[in-house]
Amino acid sequence: MLSVVAALVLALVVGGVMWFQNRDSGMVPYTISLPHKILDGGYYKKKDLSTICSHCLTSDDEIEKLGIKKGFPWSAYYVQNPAESAAGDPKKRPTISVIGIQGKVAKPVDSVDAVLARMHKDDAKNAKALGVKIEVIEGTKVKAYTGDTFDGTTMKCESVMMKPKQGLDNDVTVSRCVWGDTSAVGIVQQQGVGVEADVMHTNDLTDATTKIRNEVRQPHPKA
């Protein structure tokens, strides 16, 4: 199950969408380094995502299509610490995939839209290949971001539920956020198995994404 979910890290259709926008004119340029633990140790790194995600962005051409020049991708797959999880079955513990593409991002809003467009394009392809049905999670709201801890340019979040038609035994619940600024575009996606999966609502994932963004940032050597 986890391997299937990981294969969909850039390939689940849009659900409820939340829009956040700030200016990052005062933001210090940074690079990305994915730590062993995120969210104050609540999740630990399981593996490098590139080993299980064959279609993750890796080529210069793919990255430049997103409006990112001299881009370099980073990715990792994190599993919830057993002490933090309500799921007894290790295979049902929520996971978080983190993908960061650092580089020169001239138009962060356009780049985030391009990333989402890429994800949505893969949605239809992978849903058809896996024989699944994808539905918007009821109650997902569209809101404006009012917090002051996010100093990036923009963030979009969405949530969906993937219902199996064949080959899968359980529903998969997914929430994800994409942030963009002049230094990078990042994706944070949390997924869990089952209707009662312990997966953050997009309202909470925005805060978690902001925290993860702060945890993975390292000052740019030329800043």
Q: Look over the chain and give the mean of its residue pLDDT values, rounded to a whole number.
A: 75
| Tokens found for residue 26 | 């005062």
Average pLDDT, integer, range 51-63: 61
Question: Do residues 159 and 175 touch, judged by C-beta distance below 8 A?
Answer: yes
At 98 the pLDDT is 93
Q: What percent of the chain has pLDDT over 90?
A: 22
Q: Is the pLDDT of residue 81 over 70?
A: yes
- Which residue is associated with the tokens 């062993």? 36
Distance from chain centroid for Cα 110: 17
28 exposure class (CB count in 10 Å sphere: 0-12, 13-18, 19+): exposed
Least confident of 1-5, 52-56, 200-204: 1-5
Expressed as residue numbers, the domain containing 51 is 2-219
At 213 the pLDDT is 93
For the chain, how many structural domains are there in total? 1
At 122 the pLDDT is 76
At 27 the pLDDT is 67
At 136 the pLDDT is 63
**Which pTM does this prediction carry?**
0.79
> pLDDT-derived band of residue 45, with 50, 70 and 90 as boundaries?
very high
32 vs 2, more confident: 32
Q: What percent of the chain has pLDDT over 70?
A: 68
- Nearest-5° Cα angle at 5, 128 to 145: 100
Model pLDDT for residues 141-177, shown as the tens digit of each residue:
434 454 578 888 888 888 877 877 755 567 778 888 8
Nearest-Å Rg of the Cα atoms of the chain is 16
> pLDDT-derived band of residue 55, with 50, 70 and 90 as boundaries?
very low
| Tokens found for residue 27 | 């933001």
Model pLDDT for residues 82-133, shown as the tens digit of each residue:
776 665 566 677 889 999 899 999 999 899 889 888 877 777 777 788 778 7
